[in-house]
């Protein structure tokens, strides 16, 4: 059939061609030749051109298509290379951030500042109230049975059974003591080991945490090594937060998938899929923004982190980094600090239910905060405990027991509660350490602050100021010092002691008024160049004094009562605080001698030689005054004030010990004479109200500046020296004298903190004599004008007064009643 169709088509084609040829005229030979040639050429041309034309089009398209494909490949390859380079650069940047942080110092560690550790021994003066305060301050837990764990105690009246904490001091680690002690009449009478019944010579409590010296981010933490973390705690943490921690590489797809399924089925976010590594990366390097870019960075950085560091290093870093709450402006980071902050114990001392509270806080430190939201914390704790029971980490019985317990946290002083004292600590430390080191090197600073005395000082200021004046702008400052060694025991710099503002104790420079008089009379009693040595019985001239100043003006000092009293003994002039005799004496012995005596007592600042210096026209801070009066309280032995005992590094190795420094540039015998008069001030003089309100014998001096602008009192018992100032910051009059103002605060401090009376030391070259107050001569004890005074051997008067013995009272002392 196909052949037939082909033949038919061929015949038809021939027939058609013959008809067309027959209609044309016959060409000539030559024309036929030409035509034949043209046709021949034409056929050749046609036969050649047509196939070539079709072949040329297909070849061009293939070339163009090949070129386009080649360009696309090249562009794609270029983008692929550039993308790879960019991705590599991206990973390089992330990797650099990780290695830089982990290679160097991961955290800036604030200096931790501690109070003095309380030392106990038989014979120590301490009240039951003070010991109870110390136990509460240190967060010791009261128990009704024998204390078996560290930081526990049992009390029955004046009997205490205590188990202390292990603690690392500047001289090494001290193991916990189990001690039974008895306090009788404010003194320890027995101290024995609970189990062996052996006498204990000396024991120390752990030092209470005061505050930190923080870097700008205000983060705080107590670093833990992984082997210091209880094994059960680690299991609890991983069980709750990242069960596959040791099997994934930083990102766990299975956890993510499981979290997606749970969240979708619950219709809300119930479970997260982040690993511990991802949480650590987020906390260390990233923000909390819920953006895709942040999650991508988090994933890659987690992979890189696990590429560089082993699982134990990452876990240890997580344990120290995790955010677990806020203490004012101080951020609580890490389980080490959190355990101390919330429960008052180290992590390895916590019970299982307490550990579960901390682990539960990882989900939300604010919402599950056990102090602010104990019910939320309890609910989350129970979830953690139930999870532990499901994998048989605890038994059913333990679960029921732990769930039944309420969540209780310790009460403690807020960080930064002692700003005035910390200012003094920084001032001392900055003489040896850079400010940056204090904020970042994790130093442990052991100070001299006595928490009990600090508390009583604060209470005295806060409760007494409103009684002195209804004006809430009346300010106060107080410094309390140990007389024997210059240790600063307490400082208050504002009527609101916890206020972090202007520190008046350290920085308020005010005229000291009559506080200068003991210095003047000490200089006179030390003066051995005078024709006749000064004694307490020396007669001084209290009459009008006119002193010509270099500018031709006249200086005329006046007594407070605007009266002159004629001839008075040095003793009377001091205890009654007469101005004119003090001024005349200071000018007579020379201002250079007064200034030199100030320096011997501990005041090292430049002093102008003005006559008004003799009336206290010299500005000092309460700390400056405390330097001077510490020397009086220590009977002439000066110890520079110190607020720091020792400094340890972050590994608790000793860096610095601030040893006791004592010198004696003053004449001890002359100081004792002045002190005997200062006892008289507190008994019969301007501070006589102390004799009727304090059970202890004390010594001190009132001070009042011109126009009652400043009220001062500086004084001491046998174990406490304190300086108090009151006044207005704008220097307006207060209507308060030293006696009616600062003295009342001072009394309230001493009555709750001092145990020992001030007693004059026995010195072999000193003696006492009865003196007639009217003329300074020897008198019989029964003389109505007689008063017993102390003398250095060989300086007592030799002449006798003609006063008659009446057998009645002493008129001089009666003047003060």
Considering the candidates 134, 161, 241, 321, report the single residue annotated as catalytic.
241
DSSP character string of 503-550: -HHHH--EE-GGGGHHHHHHHHHH--SSSS---TT-EEEES---EE-T
- For tokens 């120590």, name the residue: 124
Q: Please, is 642 exposed, middle or buried when counting C-beta atoms within 10 Å of its C-beta (0-12, 13-18, 19+)?
A: buried
- 784: annotated active-site residue: no
Q: Residue 193 is inside which H or E element, if any? A: strand 188-193
Q: How would you label 767-789 residue by residue, b for 16+ Cβ within 10 Å and e otherwise?
A: eebbbbbbbbbbbeeebbbbbeb
Cα gap 490→752, rounded to integer Å: 13
- Bridge partners, 511 (sequence order): 619
DSSP class of 494 = S
Cα gap 264→256, rounded to integer Å: 12
DSSP character string of 802-814: -PPB-SS--HHHH
Cα gap 695→684, rounded to integer Å: 15
Cα gap 132→127, rounded to integer Å: 9
DSSP character string of 242-299: -TTTTTSSS--HHHHHHHHHHHHHHTS-------HHHHHHHHHH------HHHHHHHH
Q: CB under 8 Å to 120, separation ≥6 — which residues? A: 126, 179, 181, 188, 191, 202, 203, 204, 205
Q: What angle is formed at CA 506 by the lines to CA 504 and CA 509, rounded to 5 degrees? A: 65
Alpha-helix runs per DSSP H in 413-492: 419-429, 435-440, 451-468
Report whether 463 contacts 671 (CB < 8 A): no
Q: How would you label 28-46 residue by residue, b for 16+ Cβ within 10 Å and e otherwise?
A: eeeeeeeeeeeeeeeeeee
- Bridge partners, 160 (sequence order): 155, 181
> Residue 672: phi, psi to the nearest 5?
-60, -40
Identify the three-state secondary structure at position 17.
Answer: helix
Cα gap 438→445, rounded to integer Å: 10
Q: Give the residue from 255, 257, 282 showing the smallest Cα distance to 362.
A: 282
Q: State how far the alpha carbon of 484 is from the alpha carbons of 358, 633, 716, in Å.
A: 45, 8, 11
Report whether 344 contacts 206 (CB < 8 A): no
Q: State how far the alpha carbon of 262 is from the alpha carbons of 245, 254, 278, 360, in Å.
A: 20, 12, 20, 19
DSSP class of 226 = G
- 514: annotated active-site residue: yes
Considering the candidates 302, 514, 577, 621, report the single residue annotated as catalytic.
514
Cα gap 574→683, rounded to integer Å: 13
Instruction: Locate 603 and state its tokens.
Output: 């005041």
Cα gap 407→662, rounded to integer Å: 51
- Quote the radius of gyration of the chain (alpha carbons, Å): 46
Q: How would you label 569-608 residue by residue, b for 16+ Cβ within 10 Å and e otherwise?
A: bbbbbbbbbbbbbbbbbbbebebebbbebbebbbbeeebe
Cα gap 583→209, rounded to integer Å: 48
Q: Which residues are catalytic?
A: 241, 514
């Amino acid at each position: 059939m196909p052949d037939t169709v082909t033949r038919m088509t061929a015949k038809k084609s021939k027939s058609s061609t013959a008809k067309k040829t027959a209609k044309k005229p016959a060409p000539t030979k030559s024309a036929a030749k030409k035509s034949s040639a043209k046709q021949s050429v034409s056929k050749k041309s046609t036969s050649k051109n047509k196939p070539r034309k079709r072949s040329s089009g297909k070849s061009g398209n293939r070339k163009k298509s090949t070129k386009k494909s080649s360009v696309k490949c090249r562009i794609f390859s270029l983008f692929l290379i550039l993308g790879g380079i960019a991705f590599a650069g991206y990973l390089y940047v992330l990797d650099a951030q990780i290695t830089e942080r982990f290679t160097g110092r991961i955290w800036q560690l604030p200096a931790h500042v501690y109070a003095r550790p309380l030392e106990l021994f038989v014979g120590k003066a301490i009240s039951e109230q003070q010991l109870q305060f110390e136990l509460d301050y240190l967060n010791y837990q009261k128990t009704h049975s024998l204390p078996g764990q560290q930081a526990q105690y049992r009390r029955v009246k004046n009997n205490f059974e205590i188990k202390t904490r292990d603690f690392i001091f500047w001289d090494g680690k001290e193991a916990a003591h189990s001690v039974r002690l008895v306090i009788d009449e404010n003194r320890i009478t027995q101290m024995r080991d609970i189990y062996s019944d052996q006498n204990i010579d000396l024991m120390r409590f752990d030092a209470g945490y005061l505050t930190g010296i923080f870097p700008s981010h205000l983060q705080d933490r107590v670093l833990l090594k992984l082997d210091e973390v209880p094994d059960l705690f680690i299991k609890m943490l991983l069980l709750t937060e990242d069960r596959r921690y040791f099997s994934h590489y930083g990102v766990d797809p299975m956890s993510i998938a499981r979290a997606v399924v749970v969240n979708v089925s619950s219709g809300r976010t119930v479970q997260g899929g982040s690993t511990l590594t991802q949480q650590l990366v987020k906390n260390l390097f990233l923000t909390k923004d819920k953006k895709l870019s942040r999650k991508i960075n988090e994933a890659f950085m987690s992979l890189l982190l696990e590429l560089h560091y082993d699982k134990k290093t990452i876990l240890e870093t997580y344990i120290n980094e995790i955010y677990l709450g806020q203490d004012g402006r101080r951020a609580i980071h890490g389980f080490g600090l959190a355990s101390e902050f919330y429960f008052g114990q180290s992590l390895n001392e916590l019970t299982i239910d307490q550990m579960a509270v901390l682990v539960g806080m990882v989900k939300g430190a604010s919402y599950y905060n056990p102090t602010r939201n104990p019910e939320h914390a309890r609910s989350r704790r129970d979830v953690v405990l139930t999870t532990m029971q499901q994998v048989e980490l605890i038994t059913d019985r333990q679960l029921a027991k732990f769930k039944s317990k309420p969540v209780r946290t310790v009460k403690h002083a807020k960080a930064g509660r002692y700003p005035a004292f910390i200012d003094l600590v920084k001032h001392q430390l900055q003489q040896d350490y850079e400010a940056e080191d204090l904020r970042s090197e994790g130093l442990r600073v052991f100070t001299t602050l006595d928490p009990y005395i600090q508390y009583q000082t604060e209470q005295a200021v806060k409760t007494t100021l409103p009684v002195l004046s209804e004006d809430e702008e009346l300010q106060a400052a107080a410094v309390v010092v140990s007389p024997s060694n210059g240790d600063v025991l307490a400082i208050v710099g504002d009527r609101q002691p916890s206020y972090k503002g202007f520190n008046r104790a350290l920085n308020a420079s005010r005229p000291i008024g009559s506080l200068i008089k003991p210095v003047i009379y000490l200089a006179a009693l030390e003066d051995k160049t005078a024709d006749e040595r000064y004694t307490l019985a020396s007669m001084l001239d209290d009459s009008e004094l006119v002193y010509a100043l270099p500018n031709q003006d006249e200086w005329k000092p006046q007594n407070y009562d605007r009266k002159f009293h004629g001839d008075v003994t040095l003793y009377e002039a001091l205890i009654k605080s007469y101005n004119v005799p003090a001024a005349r004496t200071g000018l007579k012995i020379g201002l250079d001698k007064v200034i030199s005596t100030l320096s011997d007592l501990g005041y090292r600042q430049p002093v102008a030689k003005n006559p008004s210096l003799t009336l206290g026209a010299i500005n000092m801070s309460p700390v400056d005054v405390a330097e001077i009066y510490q020397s009086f309280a220590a009977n002439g032995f000066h110890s520079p004030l110190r607020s720091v005992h020792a400094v340890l590094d972050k590994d608790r190795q000793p860096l610095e010990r601030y040893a006791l420094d004592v010198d004696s540039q003053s004449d001890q015998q002359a100081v004792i004479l002045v002190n005997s008069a200062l006892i008289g001030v507190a008994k019969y003089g301007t501070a006589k109200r102390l004799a009727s309100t304090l059970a202890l014998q004390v010594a001190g001096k009132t001070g009042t500046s011109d126009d009652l602008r400043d009220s001062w009192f500086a004084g001491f018992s046998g174990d406490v020296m304190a300086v108090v100032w009151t006044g207005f910051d704008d220097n307006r009059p207060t209507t308060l004298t030293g006696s009616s103002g600062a003295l009342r605060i001072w009394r309230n401090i001493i009555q709750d903190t001092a145990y020992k009376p001030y007693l004059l030391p026995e010195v072999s070259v000193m003696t006492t004599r009865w003196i007639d107050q009217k003329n300074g001569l020897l008198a019989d004890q029964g003389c109505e004008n007689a008063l017993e005074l102390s003398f250095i051997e060989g300086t007592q008067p030799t002449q006798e007064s003609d006063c008659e013995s009446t057998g009645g009272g002493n008129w001089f002392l009666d003047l003060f009643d």
